């Protein structure tokens, strides 16, 4: 699961691949003297780099098998290669040239690179990744200026260029482009990469586990996949990250933890441990617990206890939680709340991000089996995804006992 790895399957990004290839069709067919530009725009972890690299790999495979006219592919990361010179030197290297650090001007690197391409009759498909940084500098703007106008700038060069420029925030980035020509040549085709929903993340995790063989079959079950997918999935009302990298990383570290403990199966507790170790911007905060009302604490403790009993479950039914809550109230010698009040407290805990909920159950492969009829309220399942249960249990017990002591 390294970051260099380019997955073969990219579920939920098929249309982005197709649209890019459609736009590049003249370039792939060998047409000369034009640049076709596609912009990828979307937040981190939405698959922009993976899609672009997958396209490069497929195109170069097809070209090397002679299925296309000659085609060269190149990938530059503008964040890593900060100067205009290093960007063009990398493109030159991908074309097969070697430029020593000294002795060549940027202009010479550009000229040799494109003359070489032109002479060999090859077109170029190029990815410029992390371009947000690029357009904030004058030099960076010039990179895009050159790439979109190779034909005009170099009279002896005749190539077709397919250009993917990747932005995290295209709108903000274009505002800082001063050159009107560059701005207009970038405004053509923009492909939006939206944050992934929980359902999409579950599919991505399953693909990685099953089709790409990232893990031994059976080492991870749908509870864990769904738990991770729900934690990171984006939803219009609730927001969220929608970040596949965070989700994959969490699964990877959870599996590593299970392995280090000599356990062949990844459990929800592995996920909680990993999530509490700072992958998320807000790790567990004890003060947040102190500020809860007594019945909210007891309810949270009830959820914790049930989850501790059912170690392979990431979500437990609200019915089971209610029984445990009533038991706890009896033990503490206080009167339990009624069902509707419990429901309200569940919403409080949910809004504070202390618990996670799921409304429908999934089948074994992460696909939702929607059985919700309009009149029938869905059964709610409750989980705790971000905090290790033993830690939470201890903090809650102490806090509840403290509160009961000071009340007497």
Ligand X SMILES: Nc1ncnc2c1ncn2[C@@H]1O[C@H](COP(=O)(O)OP(=O)(O)O)[C@@H](O)[C@H]1O
Residue ranges of the annotated binding site are: 46-50, 196, 208
Pick 122 or 200: Cβ nearer ligand X: 200
Q: How far is the CB of 56 from ligand X (least distance, A)?
A: 13
Q: Is the dihedral of CA 328, 334, 336, 337 positive or negative?
A: negative
**Between 40 and 88, whose beta carbon lies closer to Mg ion?**
40
Closest CB 135 distance from Mg ion, rounded Å: 16
Binding mask 3-42 for Mg ion (x = CB under 5 A): ----------------------------------------
φ, ψ at 69 (rounded to 5°): -60, 165
The binding site for ATP consists of: 46-50, 196, 208
The HSE-up count of residue 6 (CA atoms within 13 Å, CB side) is 11
Residue 11 interacting entry, from ligand X, Mg ion, none, C-beta within 5 to 8 Å by type: ligand X
CB of 245 to ligand X, least distance (A): 4
Taking the least distance from each CB to Mg ion, the nearer of 49 and 250 is: 49
Residue placing its CB nearer to Mg ion in the complex, 51 or 254: 51
Secondary structure percentages of the chain, helix, strand, coil, to 5: 50, 10, 35
Q: Does 49 bind Mg ion (CB under 5 A)?
A: yes
Min separation Cβ 213 and ligand X, Å = 13
- Dig out the tokens for 141 from the structure: 């703007």
Shortest Cβ 48–Mg ion spacing (Å): 5
The β-bridge partners of 381 are: 317, 358
User: Tokens 């497929």 sit at which residue?
Assistant: 58
Dihedral-angle region of residue 9 (phi above 0 means left; psi in -120 to 50 means alpha; beta otherwise): beta
Residue numbers 353-372 binding Mg ion by CB under 5 A = none
Nearest to 129 by CA among 195, 196, 55: 55
Contacts 24+ apart (CB under 8 A), 275-282: 275/231, 275/250, 275/385, 275/386, 275/387, 276/386, 276/387, 276/388, 276/391, 277/253, 279/246, 279/249, 279/250, 279/253, 280/386, 282/353
In the range 95-154, which residues lie near Mg ion by CB under 5 A? Answer: none
Q: Which stretch binds Mg ion (CB under 5 A): 45-53, 111-119, 259-267, 295-303?
A: 45-53
The first and second tokens of residue 272, run together, are 């909680």
Q: Which of residues 153-172 bind Mg ion (CB under 5 A)?
A: none
- Residue 194 contact, options Mg ion, ligand X, none, Cβ 5-8 Å cut-off depending on partner type: none
Task: Tell me the H-state helices in 261-376.
Answer: 268-274, 286-290, 294-309, 318-332, 339-351
Cα angle 299, 238, 197; round to 5: 110
Q: What number of chain residues touch Mg ion (CB under 5 A)?
A: 1
Which of 49, 305 has the CB closer to Mg ion? Answer: 49
- Cβ proximity to ligand X: between 4 and 287 the closer is 4
- Minimum CB–partner distance for residue 16 and Mg ion (Å): 13
Strands 356-358, 189-192: pairing kind: unpaired
Contacting residues toward ligand X, per CB under 6 A:
3, 7, 10-13, 42, 44-50, 193, 204, 207, 244-245, 248
- Choose from Mg ion, ligand X, none: what does 248 bind? Cβ within 5-8 Å by kind: ligand X
Shortest distance, position 55 Cβ to Mg ion, whole Å: 14
Do you know the residue count of the chain?
408
* Binding site partner of 84, from ligand X, Mg ion, none, Cβ cut-off 5-8 A by kind: none
Residue tagged 């919403």 (tokens): 347
User: Between residues 249 and 345, which has the closer beta carbon with respect to ligand X?
Assistant: 249
204 binds, options Mg ion, ligand X, none, Cβ within 5 to 8 A by partner type: ligand X
Q: What φ, ψ does residue 204 adopt, rounded to 5°? A: -60, -45
Residue with tokens 């609730």: 238
Q: Which residues bind Mg ion (CB under 5 A)?
A: 49
């Amino acid at each position: 699961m390294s970051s260099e790895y380019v997955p073969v399957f990219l579920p939920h990004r098929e249309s982005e691949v197709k649209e890019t290839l459609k736009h590049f069709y003249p370039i792939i067919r060998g047409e000369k003297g034009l640049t076709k530009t596609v912009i990828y725009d979307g937040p981190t972890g939405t698959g922009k780099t993976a899609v672009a690299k997958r396209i490069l790999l497929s195109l170069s495979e097809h070209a090397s098998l002679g299925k296309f006219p000659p085609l060269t592919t190149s990938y530059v990361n503008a964040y890593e290669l900060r100067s205009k010179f290093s960007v063009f030197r990398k493109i030159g290297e991908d074309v097969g040239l070697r430029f020593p650090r000294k002795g060549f001007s940027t202009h010479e690197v550009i000229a040799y690179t494109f003359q070489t391409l032109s002479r060999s009759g090859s077109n170029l498909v190029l990815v410029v990744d992390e371009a947000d940084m690029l357009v904030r500098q004058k030099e960076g703007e010039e990179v895009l200026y050159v790439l979109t106008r190779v034909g005009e700038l170099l009279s002896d060069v005749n190539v077709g260029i397919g250009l993917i420029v990747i932005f995290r925030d295209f709108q903000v980035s274009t505002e800082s482009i001063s050159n009107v020509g560059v701005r207009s040549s970038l405004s053509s085709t923009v492909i939006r990469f939206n944050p992934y929903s929980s359902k999409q993340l579950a599919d991505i995790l399953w693909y990685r586990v099953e089709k790409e063989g990232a893990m031994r079959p059976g080492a991870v079950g749908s509870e864990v996949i769904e738990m991770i997918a729900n934690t990171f999935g984006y939803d219009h009302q609730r927001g969220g990250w929608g970040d596949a990298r965070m989700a994959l990383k969490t699964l990877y570290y959870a599996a590593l933890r299970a392995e280090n403990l000599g356990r062949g199966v990844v459990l929800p507790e592995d996920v909680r441990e990993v999530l509490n170790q700072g992958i998320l911007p807000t790790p567990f905060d004890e003060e947040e617990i102190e500020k809860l009302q007594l019945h909210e604490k007891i309810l949270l403790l009830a959820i914790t206890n049930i989850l501790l009993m059912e170690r392979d479950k990431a979500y437990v039914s609200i019915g089971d939680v209610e029984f445990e809550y009533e038991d706890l109230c009896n033990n503490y010698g206080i009167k339990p709340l009624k069902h509707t009040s419990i429901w309200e407290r569940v919403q409080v805990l949910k809004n504070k991000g202390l618990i996670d909920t799921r409304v429908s159950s999934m089948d074994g492969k992460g696909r939702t089996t929607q059985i919700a009829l309009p009149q029938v309220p869905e059964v709610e399942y409750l989980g705790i995804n971000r905090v290790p249960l033993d830690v939470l249990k201890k903090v809650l017990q102490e806090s509840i006992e403290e509160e009961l002591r000071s009340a007497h």
